[in-house]
Structure 1
Amino acid sequence: MRSSGYKRASYLALFTIFYNVLEGLVSMWIGAADETLALFGFGADSFIEVISAVGVWHMLQRIRANGGESRDEFEQRALKITGVSFYLLTAGLVATAFLNLYQHHKPDTTFWGVVVSLVSVSFMWYLIRQKTAVGIALNSPAIMADAACSRACLYFSLALLVSSAGYELTGVGSLDAIGAMLIGYLSFKEGREAFAKAKGMSCSCGCSCSP
């Protein structure tokens, strides 16, 4: 039972990796073409989530083989790379958003931001439900924390949806920049939690950390 549970958790981690790669490619390509910073930043976040998901997949393989949920050197390194990447994304998004506000920049369209965010919300909701079910069945804090990280990804999707839909409905160009800054804020929180996890603190994405 436990073996099949961890096998399913590994499949979910692999699905998360492949989905985020596809989402990142599509979002960054369309975001650059339509000059929508929020969608481009959302795509960059997806690639950072790939690094985190690879660390989770590695952890699950180790737990299946050896047991124990404490993080090894590879997982700690992945978390540190994830943290640095999130901080860099935050800085880039906030700086570019302020520049866009100053220049009164408007994206060509944010229609595809609405589409991508709705698709992402659907997939993240599926992953949250599946990972939570497996985590409860196995009584695994690590898998439950991974489910919480998928929930954090859902917040990124909702931020993109609100800013993209808002621009499509109102034509107010600043909404794209505001959406990008909100994604930047969420990225900063994720970066801080990644470093806390690397130090051995107990965190679930979007929640507080404790020793």
Structure 2
Amino acid sequence: MSIPLRAPRRAALTRRIRWLVAATITYNVVEAVVAITAGRVASSTALVGFGLDSVIEVASAAAVAWQFSGDDHERRERTALRVIAVSFFALAAYVTVESVRALAGADRAEHSTVGLVLAALSLAVMPVLSAAQRRAGRELGSASAVADSKQTLLCTYLSAVLLAGLAVNSLFGWWWADPLAALAIAAVAVKEGRDAWRGEACCAPAAACTDGCCD
């Protein structure tokens, strides 16, 4: 059984989530601009898709920012969760379509030094932001903050997929590795979107989590 948070602690956690969401939005805006620009220059669908994923993540983070912009953030949580769920579904749909197109032989991912650097940087930054927001969301009991942290974590997986896909394609010519891995990510996105829509994102304090959903 969890102990109710004192008002000062709740206020501190709310401020922390606001800062983390702001950092996530800022990073993803820059990431989207760089990825889409580099993708167009290199004719890389994978990079353009990665940039569009960043746009979707901005929408998810913006929903949480809106929720915590006022004192009634608990009443706004259901709406924020629905927006996050839709962003998961949109991401899954886009990744699936682009993966199928790639497997069919259209717009295969090409080598891009900028893409490799960007994917590696995101692979380092995103897990830190995700973990920090997940901890704060769990302690505060906010399902939307936890769900958004999962969206950020999904970007980590996509970064790894992009990095591996571009590297393997450059080294061995295995162009099909990226779309296959991306399809697995799409399946995860659908599951997380369904949980967010139902309001099932784990938001219990760490001490109260017994089913592993907070790991």
Fold match (TM-score > 0.5): yes
Q: What is the aligned partner in structure 2 of residue 10 from structure 1? A: 18
Q: Is 1:81 aligned to residue 86 of structure 2?
A: yes
Shift of 1:115: 0.5
Instruction: From the superposition, tell whether residues 88 and 150 of structure 1 become closer, same or farther in structure 2 (CA, over 3 Å).
Output: closer
Alignment of 1:40-189 (within 5 A): 40-62=48-70, 65-66=71-72, 68=74, 71-73=77-79, 75-100=80-105, 105=108, 107=110, 109-135=111-137, 138=140, 140-170=142-172, 172=173, 174-175=174-175, 177-189=176-188
Aligned length: 198
Q: Which amino acid aligns with 1:94?
A: S
**Identical pairs, percent:** 24
TM-score by length of 1: 0.76
Partner of 2:201, secondary structure, is coil
CA distance in 1, matches of 2:84, 2:138: 24
Answer whether contact 1:83 1:190 (CA < 8 A) is retained.
yes
Check the 8 A contact 1:31/1:40 in 2, yes or no.
yes
Q: How far apart are 1:187 and its partner, in Å? A: 2.9
Deviates more, 1:185-194 or 1:28-37: 185-194
Look up the SS of the partner of 1:26 in the other structure. helix
- Kept in 2, the 8 Å contact 1:87–1:191? The answer is yes
Cα distance change of structure 1 residues 96 and 139 upon mapping to structure 2, 3 Å threshold: same
Q: CA RMSD in A?
A: 3.1
- Please, which of 30, 43, 49 is the counterpart of residue 35 of structure 1? 43
Structure 2 unaligned segments of length 5 or more: list them: 1-8, 204-210
Cα pair 2:85 2:192 within 8 Å, conserved: no
Structure 2 CA distance for aligned equivalents of residues 160 and 122 of structure 1: 14
2:126 aligned counterpart, secondary structure:
helix
CA distance in 1 between counterparts of 2:199 and 2:139 reads 24
Task: Note the alpha carbon deviations across 1:147-201, whole angstroms, 9 max, x for none.
Answer: 333222211111111111222333x0x43x4313422431342134224322333
C-alpha displacement at 1:97, in angstroms? 0.5
Is contact 2:21–2:64 with CA below 8 Å preserved after alignment? Answer: yes
Query: In the alignment, is the contact (CA less than 8 A) between 1:132 and 1:144 conserved in 2?
Result: yes
Q: CA 1:23–1:71 in structure 2 vs 1: closer, same or farther (change >3 Å)?
A: same
Q: Aligned in 2, Cα 1:46/1:128: closer, same or farther, shift over 3 Å?
A: same
Corresponding position of 2:195: 196
Q: What is the alpha-carbon distance in structure 2 between the residues aligned to residue 141 and residue 85 of structure 1? A: 20
Partners of 2:130 and 2:150 within 8 A in 1: yes
Matching residue's letter, 2:200: M
The CA distance in 2 between the partners of 1:208 and 1:28, in whole Å, is 36
Given candidates 11, 24, 28, the residue that maps to 1:20 is 28
1:96 maps to amino acid: R
SS at match of 1:72: helix
